[in-house]
Amino acid sequence: MHPEAERLDEVKSFIVALVRRGGEIVSLDAIRTALQAHPLIPLCYRSEEPELLPFERAAKQKNFNNLVGEYLVELVRDGELVYVTSEKGYRAA
């Protein structure tokens, strides 16, 4: 398996485990917060570096949010997670 595919699988497994461990609806913000420090998220998505200019920080945060969104779409499509509209969060399928 390609290293990038392995990393993607590990991050997806982390998200699914996080939601299952929570036992109830987990918000998008909670998932983003948990992933922000995850070692498998590439540095190009990290926005906590102190020397970043505000527009650089905003761009990195937007890229990170898009990345997490893509992961969640794939997990819902694969049947691992369910998005609960009324609760605005995710639960295990």
Backbone angles phi, psi at 27, to 5 degrees: -75, 160
| pLDDT, mean of residues 11-29 | 88
Task: Place 2 in a pLDDT band, splitting at 50, 70 and 90.
Answer: very low
Q: Letter for the amino acid at 40?
A: L
Higher pLDDT pick, 42 / 86: 86
In the chain the first and final C-alpha atoms are separated, in Å, by 26
Q: Where are the beta strands (DSSP E) in the chain?
A: 26-27, 81-84, 89-92
pLDDT digits (tens, 9 = 90+) for 49-78: 677 788 887 887 888 888 889 889 999 999
Q: For residues 64 and 84, what is the distance between their CA atoms, to the nearest angstrom?
A: 22
46, 69 Cβ separation under 8 angstroms: no
* pLDDT averaged over every residue in the chain: 82
